[in-house]
């Protein structure tokens, strides 16, 4: 991890307050439905993130999508991600790996806040460390209470995409707040410190075995070097 | 943590099989009971242990403890000539030991830490602000400060087995 600098002054107090008080979505318990929350069509098919839709409802969704304008960007996106709502969907390779290791992949291991879950957009007041011109930016928060764990994993990345991943704690380090990249633990940091992954494809994971919550902003920028449909 | 040396040849491979096959005490949940589990005689939870787990839940299982009197083998550490106590901590993926400091009974003695398997990503031992990683089975470390704050996590994909040995400053 490459240390970039401290940018705590960039964090607006009302943002910090909202992040620290937001319950977040239970992950990975809600992860499949979380993907579907991105899409307004899919979102309309489940009113409660805890509810798994029935096979009958899922079949109706597929039928409805087939009757919609296939050239519409939102419909195309919904078709790509509709299988996230499939109640009979099998675990993918990543979730299968967690399951085989003994993790309960439907438990509450950490909390996630996507950009549309909070009332602010960090890009309205862009992070000073981010070179965002001509790039596609995604960002989200992960929040871990004592006892929360995020298993070791590798973030999937298309090799044709130039990617930068930033990790910015919004809470001061305390003993038991663990972030591991490969074999390196990031410790003794301050809220507002920014680190960049030297290898965006590195194994990493996190855990909170401390006594207070831990909140992290994660930002990824992509530079596309070939035509990719980003719907 | 002070590195002492590697004692892999001293580890009997049958120990691993025995440890993996035994449940041991589910900590801290089983600390609340005085039952004889797997031939063990663990008494109720110590006050210092209770404080550590208060915010996590004392009725849950975060790791497995196999104390010397639970196991059907004994050890004779070649690096020790004094009286000692020993136990095994077994952590399945997703399990952890919250950050804590050991009780005052460890103040006069020495604390040793030895992984029984090679390190794998996600097998984490935190001692103060450092993490111990890339170790080999049989590597032996001594706590430089018996009361140092420490904790452990398994966010990897296989169980993690650690031998722990304590002396009490008595011959």
CATH number (domain holding residue B7): 2.60.120.10
Instruction: Calculate how close chain A gets to B59, using CA atoms only, in Å.
Output: 14
Q: CA nearest A4: which of A214, A198, A187?
A: A198
The partner residue sitting opposite A149, judged by closest CB among B55, B94, B129, is B94
Tell me the whole-structure pTM to 2 decimals: 0.83
Give residue B36's pLDDT band: very low, low, confident or very high (50, 70, 90): very low
- Give me the pLDDT at residue B28, please: 84
- Give me the pLDDT at residue B107, please: 67
Give the structural domain span for B144: 2-167
- Give me the pLDDT at residue B46, please: 66
- What torsion do the CA atoms of A143, A145, A147, A153 make, to the nearest 10 degrees? 0
Contact list in B for residue A172 (CB cut-off 8 A) is none
Q: Over range B1-9, report the average pLDDT.
A: 95
Percent of chain B, pLDDT > 90?
A: 54
Which ipTM did the prediction report? 0.80
- Give me the pLDDT at residue B70, please: 84
Residue A36 tokens, joined: 């579907």
For residue A182, give the chain B residue with the closest CA.
B121
Q: CA nearest A110: which of A197, A205, A15?
A: A205
Q: Is the pLDDT of residue B34 over 50?
A: no
Q: CA nearest B93: which of A156, A10, A153?
A: A153
For residue B158, give the chain A residue with the closest CA.
A101
| Number of domains making up chain B | 1
- Do residues A44 and A74 make contact, with C-beta atoms less than 8 angstroms apart? no
CA B54 to chain CA centroid, nearest Å = 20
The partner residue sitting opposite B153, judged by closest CB among A98, A149, A188, is A149
A91-148 pLDDT, tens digit per residue, is: 778 888 888 999 988 888 999 998 888 999 999 999 999 987 778 899 999 999 999 9
DSSP, residue by residue, A114-145: EGGGSS--GGGS--TT---TT-EEEEEEEEE-
Query: How confident is the prediction for chain A on average, in pLDDT?
Result: 88
- Give me the pLDDT at residue B157, please: 93
Regarding predicted confidence, which is higher, B169 or B98? B98
- Give me the pLDDT at residue B33, please: 58
Q: CA nearest A174: which of B52, B56, B99?
A: B99
């Amino acid at each position: 991890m490459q240390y970039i600098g401290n940018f705590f002054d960039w964090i607006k107090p009302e943002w910090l307050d909202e992040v620290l008080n937001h319950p977040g979505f239970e992950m990975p318990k809600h992860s499949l439905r979380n993907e579907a929350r991105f899409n307004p069509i899919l979102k309309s098919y489940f009113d409660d993130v805890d509810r798994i839709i029935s096979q009958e409802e899922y079949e109706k969704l597929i039928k409805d999508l087939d009757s919609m304008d296939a050239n519409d960007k939102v419909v195309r996106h919904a078709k790509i991600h509709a299988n996230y709502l499939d109640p009979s969907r099998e675990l993918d390779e990543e979730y299968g790996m967690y399951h085989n290791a003994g993790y309960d992949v439907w438990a509450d291991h950490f909390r996630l806040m996507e950009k549309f879950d909070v009332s602010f957009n960090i890009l309205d007041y862009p992070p000073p460390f981010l070179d965002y011109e001509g790039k596609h930016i995604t960002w989200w928060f992960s929040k871990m209470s004592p006892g929360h764990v995020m298993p070791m994993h590798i973030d999937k990345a298309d090799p044709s995409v130039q990617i930068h991943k930033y990790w910015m704690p919004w809470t001061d380090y305390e003993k038991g707040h663990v972030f591991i990249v490969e074999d390196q633990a990031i410790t003794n940091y301050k809220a507002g410190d920014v680190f960049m992954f030297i290898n965006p494809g590195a194994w990493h994971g996190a855990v909170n075995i401390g006594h207070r919550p831990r909140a992290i902003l994660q930002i990824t920028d992509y530079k596309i070097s070939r035509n990719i449909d980003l719907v | 943590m002070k590195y002492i040396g590697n004692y892999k040849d001293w580890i009997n491979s049958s120990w691993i099989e025995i440890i993996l096959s035994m449940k041991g005490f589910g900590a801290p949940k089983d600390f609340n009971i005085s039952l004889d589990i797997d031939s063990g005689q663990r008494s109720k939870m110590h006050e210092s242990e209770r404080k550590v787990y208060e915010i996590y839940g004392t009725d849950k299982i975060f790791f497995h403890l196999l104390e010397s009197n639970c196991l059907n083998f004994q050890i004779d550490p070649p690096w020790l000539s004094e009286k000692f106590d020993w136990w095994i901590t077994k952590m399945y993926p997703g399990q952890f030991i919250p950050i804590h400091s050991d009780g005052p009974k460890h103040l006069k003695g020495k604390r040793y830490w030895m992984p029984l398997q090679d390190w794998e990503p996600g097998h984490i031992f935190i001692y103060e602000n450092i993490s111990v990683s890339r170790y080999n089975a049989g590597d032996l470390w001594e706590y430089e400060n018996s009361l140092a704050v420490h904790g452990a996590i398994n966010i990897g994909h296989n169980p993690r087995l650690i031998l722990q040995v304590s002396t009490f400053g008595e011959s």
